[in-house]
Amino acid sequence: MKNLLRYTVLISLLLTAGLAHGQGKIKIDSADVLRGERDAAGNSYRKLIGNVQLVQGATRIFGDSVIYYQDRNFTEVFGDTVRIEEGDTIVITGGRLRYDGDKQLAEMRDNVIYRDPSTKLYTNFLDYNLADKIAYYYEGGKLVDTTQVIISRLGSYRTATNLAAFKDSVVVTHPDFTMEADTMEYNTVTKVVFTRGPTIITSKDSTQLYAEAGSELSTTDKQSIFGLGTIETDAYIISADQLFADEINKRYNATSNVEMVSKEQDVIIIGDSAFYFMEEGLTKIYGNPVMKKIMEGDTLYLAADTLISVEDSIPANERILAYPNVRIYRSDLQGIADSLAYHIVDSMLYFFQDPVLWAQDSQIEADSINIELLNGQIHKMNATDNSFVVSTDTLSNFNQIKGRDMEAFFDEGNISNINVYGNGESIYFPLQDDSIIVAMNRILCSDIYIFFEDNELTSIKFDKKPEGKFIPPHEITPENTKLEGFTWRIEERPTLATIFEPIVKPEPPPINVEVKPVPIPSATLP
């Protein structure tokens, strides 16, 4: 009884050991010629020639000639048709094979092709672990499926999970784009690509997407997520901490530290988030957006709750829209409004709904105002309906002019003259030696022409039946020093610091885009 138990345990251990070493010994299924030989070290082996077939479990090996070390459970296979078949799903062909039956490790070399139902893999150096169902290549390889071609210097493919991993000089060629990366994973069933580190995607319309911190790309619905990404088109470069791209609908979403640069117009826009609609030619920026336009010797800053950049095939139609809580700043001009349109090509700024502008010591208001820039400097300003100009003198008096419409002209950024048309009214304090009030002039007329020198009011001309009052200093009272509608809004005048401070915290509109962190799966690389 003890001997029977001992033999049972021994047989069990032998069977367990056999299972631990793959699927047992390699068996010879067929060969035209079989003979026994010894190598230089005296080790015996079998040499098989012609139509050789070897079997180990579900694995079949085919070749023209074979050297088989039965003691080591090891074989080398040669011929024009060296082939491994794993069940009825995996076929590997090549020029020569080394196969360790205990480790179930196949080393296929020379013109290797790996095939399964969804994938083909081409290389000259392939190691395939049949136990773990993992294929590795080392000296360059190419994976081909129904969607794209992927090449790299190093790679691996897990049959069980359909996950391929690539390393070093990875290039993906798809009918709609090409991708370049250093490290990448690809699921051959879901058709989703994951990259780590710098990644470049170039679409067939030349749009380029760059990711510094990896990406996730679905090659079926053409949607991708980028970490520290950049989108580059013919007109713009958009960068952000994270980008979402929908290549089918040509829509892109950027979040956190967004920056958009116009290649041709020297315009930079920054913000917290942006949506780019390529087909419509629209970019919407939210979250403390600020535009910077570099001009001759100065920079124009534009801020609002929302900025919209409009592209167009006709350059004259390209513009930037801002609303609400608009603020602008440059060294010679500051302003506020509810909304604004900036026409880039002709350098025109249009202010709407309660606009107020400041140029040096002058404040200008109207129902709407537009500014014409020439060679990077203010050339002309038009104020339409209920225009009102206030300027201060050395004694802090408020010189005031109001009328229906107004146009102001500038010389090298300084106000040179202002023309007021219709329903003109004026309060003007002439001074002696810039320190003594001579009187206060209050005049009604149709049109008024004001002249400045060094940004200070020097003279006024009143046209078409002016009616005036000359009020001596001792008769001037606070009540008669203000025209109807006068307000001095200097506390609202933007500074460079306040340009970057939001007045109202904006809420981006709802959009059916799920932005999620870039997932990086684990992968096996040689």
Residue 5's pLDDT band (boundaries 50, 70, 90)? very low
Which residue in the block uniquely carries the two structure tokens 């048709």? 81
Mean pLDDT along residues 128-142: 93
What are the structure tokens assigned to 8, written together? 């049972």
Mean pLDDT along residues 23-51: 90
Which tens digits make up the pLDDT trace of 280-297?
889 999 998 999 988 877
Q: Which of 3-12, 151-160, 420-429, 438-447 has the lowest mean pLDDT?
A: 3-12
| Residue 153 clears pLDDT 60, i.e. is over it | yes
pTM greater than the 0.75 cutoff:
no
Mean pLDDT along residues 268-291: 91
| Residue 376 clears pLDDT 80, i.e. is over it | no
| Residue 470 clears pLDDT 80, i.e. is over it | yes
Is residue 492 one of the residues assigned to a domain?
yes
So what's the pLDDT on residue 508?
Answer: 56
Residue 10's pLDDT band (boundaries 50, 70, 90)? very low
So what's the pLDDT on residue 504?
Answer: 53
Is residue 106 one of the residues assigned to a domain?
no
So what's the pLDDT on residue 510?
Answer: 54
Is residue 156 one of the residues assigned to a domain?
no
Is residue 217 one of the residues assigned to a domain?
no
Q: Which of 15-24, 51-60, 304-313, 498-507 has the lowest mean pLDDT?
A: 15-24
| Residue 503 clears pLDDT 70, i.e. is over it | no
Structural domain count, the chain: 1
Is residue 78 one of the residues assigned to a domain?
no
So what's the pLDDT on residue 305?
Answer: 93
Residue 231's pLDDT band (boundaries 50, 70, 90)? confident
Integer Cα distance of 444 and 446 in angstroms: 7
Residues 451 and 462: beta-carbon distance below 8 Å: no
So what's the pLDDT on residue 293?
Answer: 87
Please report, for the domain that includes residue 500, its CATH number: 2.60.450.10
Integer Cα distance of 389 and 398 in angstroms: 10
Is residue 393 one of the residues assigned to a domain?
yes
Three-class HEC string of 343-369: ECCCCEEEEECCCEEEECCEEEECCEE
Is residue 420 one of the residues assigned to a domain?
yes
So what's the pLDDT on residue 17?
Answer: 38
Integer Cα distance of 193 and 207 in angstroms: 19
Is residue 404 one of the residues assigned to a domain?
yes
What are the structure tokens assigned to 67, written together? 């050297």
So what's the pLDDT on residue 220?
Answer: 81
Residue 246's pLDDT band (boundaries 50, 70, 90)? confident
Range of the domain at 427: 287-510
- Please measure the distance between the N-terminal and C-terminal CA atoms of the chain and give it in whole angstroms: 52
So what's the pLDDT on residue 406?
Answer: 92
Integer Cα distance of 421 and 407 in angstroms: 8
Which tens digits make up the pLDDT trace of 173-228?
998 889 999 999 999 888 899 998 899 988 888 888 888 888 888 888 888 888 88
Residues 230 and 199: beta-carbon distance below 8 Å: no
What is the residue-averaged pLDDT of the chain?
85
Which residue in the block uniquely carries the two structure tokens 């950024």? 413
